C-alpha cells in the first residue's frame, strides 16, 4: 500500500516514521515545497530502517506529484503551525490556499485516494477538501478526535493515578480549544464510569486540560506538537490499510447526523479500507448536545471565511 504525506515538517515526518515503524505500508512518499527537504527527511528516515527493522520504502520529492501517483491514502500536513498564543483558526488565511492547491495535485495523480486532513484549522480544512476535491465524502477524513482522545486519556489516567491502558474516553465535536467536547459521561476505567473515582474539581480540570492540550504544548515547545499528532495519523492510516474497521473519532462531513449538515465535525466512525465505513451515532446528554451545537456554530463561522 502506498501512502503520500504532504508536508515533511514536524507532523508529516513524525507520521511517516510511525507508519514505517509499524511496517504495514509498502511505500511512503513525502512531499514538501521546501527544496530538498522531503528528500532529506526521507533519506534520514530510510537510514533508520535497518536499525528499527522496517521494510517500508520512504522517498521524498520537492512537490513532484507524479511521484505520488496511485496512492491509496494521502495525508495533508502542509501549512503553517500555530505559535504560542495563537488559535488554530488564525491559520486559515495561509493554510486554505495551500490545502486547496495540494488537494488538486493529489486527486489529479490518485483519483481514488483517501485523504486525511491534518492542517489547521482542521475542521474547516476538511470542509474545504470536501468542497474542492470532487471525492466522495467517505474518502475525506479530518484528524483531530484521535489526538484529542489520546490527550483526554492521558489526563484521565493522570487524575486517576491509573495506567493509561485502564482508561477509555473519547473527544468529539470541533478540533479547537473551545469547541472540543470530551465525553466525560462515557469515560471509563476498566468499564467503570470515571465519575466513581473523580470529584467535580478533578473532572473540571481533566476537561479543561484536555481542551487546551494543544495550546499547553505550543507554549512549551514554541510550536505545535508532533509526536502524538503523527501517531494519531498513523493509527488512522493503519485502520484503512489493514481494513481494521476501527472506531475512531474523526472530522467528517455530516448529513443530518448529530443534528448537523454541510459541516465537518468530530464524530465516532468505523474506519476501514473504504475510508469512512459508517458514522456511529451515540446518545449524548442534553448538555453534550448543546455543546456539540455550539461547536458547530463556531466552525460554521470559520467556514464562512473560506473562498472557493
Ligand atoms: P511544520 O512547519 O513543521 O511543517 C509544515 C510543512 O509544510 C513545512 O515543511 C512546509 O515547507 C510544508 N509546506 C508548506 N506549504 C506547502 C505546500 N504548498 N506543499 C507542500 N508542502 C508545503 O508544521 P507542523 O508542525 O508539521 O504542522 C503542520 C500543520 O498541521 C499545521 O497547520 C498545524 O497546525 C497542523 N496540526 C494539526 C494537528 C491536528 O490535530 N489536526 C496537530 C498538529 C498540527
Q: Quote the pLDDT of residue 252.
A: 98
Rounded to two decimals, the ipTM of the complex is 0.99
CATH code of the domain in which 109 resides = 3.40.50.720
Q: For residue 304, what is the DSSP state?
A: T
pLDDT of 127 over the 80 cut = yes
Ligand 1 center–CA 183 separation, angstroms = 28
Domain total for the chain? 2
The radius of gyration of the chain's CA atoms, rounded to the nearest angstrom, is 19
**Does 79 sit in the ligand 1 pocket, CB within 6 Å?**
yes
Q: What is the pLDDT of residues 261-289, one digit of tens each?
A: 999 999 999 999 999 999 999 999 999 99
Residues facing residue 73 across a β-bridge = 3, 114
- Let me know whether 76 and 206 are in one domain: no
pTM: 0.98
Q: Verify whether residue 175 is a known catalytic residue.
A: yes
Which residues are documented as binding site for substrate? 82, 88, 120, 151
Both 219 and 271 in one domain: the answer is: yes
Return the residue whose CA atom lies nearest to atom 32 of ligand 1.
119
Pairing of strands 167-168, 188-189: antiparallel
Please tell me whether residues 189 and 250 are part of one structural domain.
yes
Q: Confidence class of residue 242 from pLDDT cuts 50, 70 and 90?
A: very high
Q: For residue 297, give the CATH number of its domain.
A: 3.90.110.10
Q: DSSP secondary structure string, 79-130?
A: SPPPPTT--GGGGHHHHHHHHHHHHHHHHHH-TT-EEEE-SSSHHHHHHHHH
* CA neighbours closer than 13 Å in the CB half-sphere of residue 282: 19
Do 8 and 138 lie in a common domain?
Answer: yes
Q: In the structure, what pLDDT confidence band is assigned to residue 198 with cuts at 50, 70 and 90? A: very high
Query: What average pLDDT does this structure show over 161-186?
Result: 97
> Looking at the structure, do residues 100 and 246 belong to the same domain, yes or no?
no
Residue 125: closest CA among 305, 272, 247, 248? 305
- Give 31-88 pLDDT, tens digit per residue: 999 999 999 999 999 999 999 999 999 999 999 999 999 999 999 999 998 889 888 8
- Model confidence at 167, pLDDT cuts 50, 70, 90, reads very high
CA of 192 to the centre of ligand 1 (A): 39
Domain that holds residue 28: 2-143
What the block records as the C-alpha cell of 9 is: 515538517
Mean pLDDT across 12-20 = 98
CB 183 within 8 A of CB 292: no
Grid cell at residue 52: 528499527
Residue 124 has φ and ψ, to the nearest 5°, of -75, -35
Amino acid at each position: 500500500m502506498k501512502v503520500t504525506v504532504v508536508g515533511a515538517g514536524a507532523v508529516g515526518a513524525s507520521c511517516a516514521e510511525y507508519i514505517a515503524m509499524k511496517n504495514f505500508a509498502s511505500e511512503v512518499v513525502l512531499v514538501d515545497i521546501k527544496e530538498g527537504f522531503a528528500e532529506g527527511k526521507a533519506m534520514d528516515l530510510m537510514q533508520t530502517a535497518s536499525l528499527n527493522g522496517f521494510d517500508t520504502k520512504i522517498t521524498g520529492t520537492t512537490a513532484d506529484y507524479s511521484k505520488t501517483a496511485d496512492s491509496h491514502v494521502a495525508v495533508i500536513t502542509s501549512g503553517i503551525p500555530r505559535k504560542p498564543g495563537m488559535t488554530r483558526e488564525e491559520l486559515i488565511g495561509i493554510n486554505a490556499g495551500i490545502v486547496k492547491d495540494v488537494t488538486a495535485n493529489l486527486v489529479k495523480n490518485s483519483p481514488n485516494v483517501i485523504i486525511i486532513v491534518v492542517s489547521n484549522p482542521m475542521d474547516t480544512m476538511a470542509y474545504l477538501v470536501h468542497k474542492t476535491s470532487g471525492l466522495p465524502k467517505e474518502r475525506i477524513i479530518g484528524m483531530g478526535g484521535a489526538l484529542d482522545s489520546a490527550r483526554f486519556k492521558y489526563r484521565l489516567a493522570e487524575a486517576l493515578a491509573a495506567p493509561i491502558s485502564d482508561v477509555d474516553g473519547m473527544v468529539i465535536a470541533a478540533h479547537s480549544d473551545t469547541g472540543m467536547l470530551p465525553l466525560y459521561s462515557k469515560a471509563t476505567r476498566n468499564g467503570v464510569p470515571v465519575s466513581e473515582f473523580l470529584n467535580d474539581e478533578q473532572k473540571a480540570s481533566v476537561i479543561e486540560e484536555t481542551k487546551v492540550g494543544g495550546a499547553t504544548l505550543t507554549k512549551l515547545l514554541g510550536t505545535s506538537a508532533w509526536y502524538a499528532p503523527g501517531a494519531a495519523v498513523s493509527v488512522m492510516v493503519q485502520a484503512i490499510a489493514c481494513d481494521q474497521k476501527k472506531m475512531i473519532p474523526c472530522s467528517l462531513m455530516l448529513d443530518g447526523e448529530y443534528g448537523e449538515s454541510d459541516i465537518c465535525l468530530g464524530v465516532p466512525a468505523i474506519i476501514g479500507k473504504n475510508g469512512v465505513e459508517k458514522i456511529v451515532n451515540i446518545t449524548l446528554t442534553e448538555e453534550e448536545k448543546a455543546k456539540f451545537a455550539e461547536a458547530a456554530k463556531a466552525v460554521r463561522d470559520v467556514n464562512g471565511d473560506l473562498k472557493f
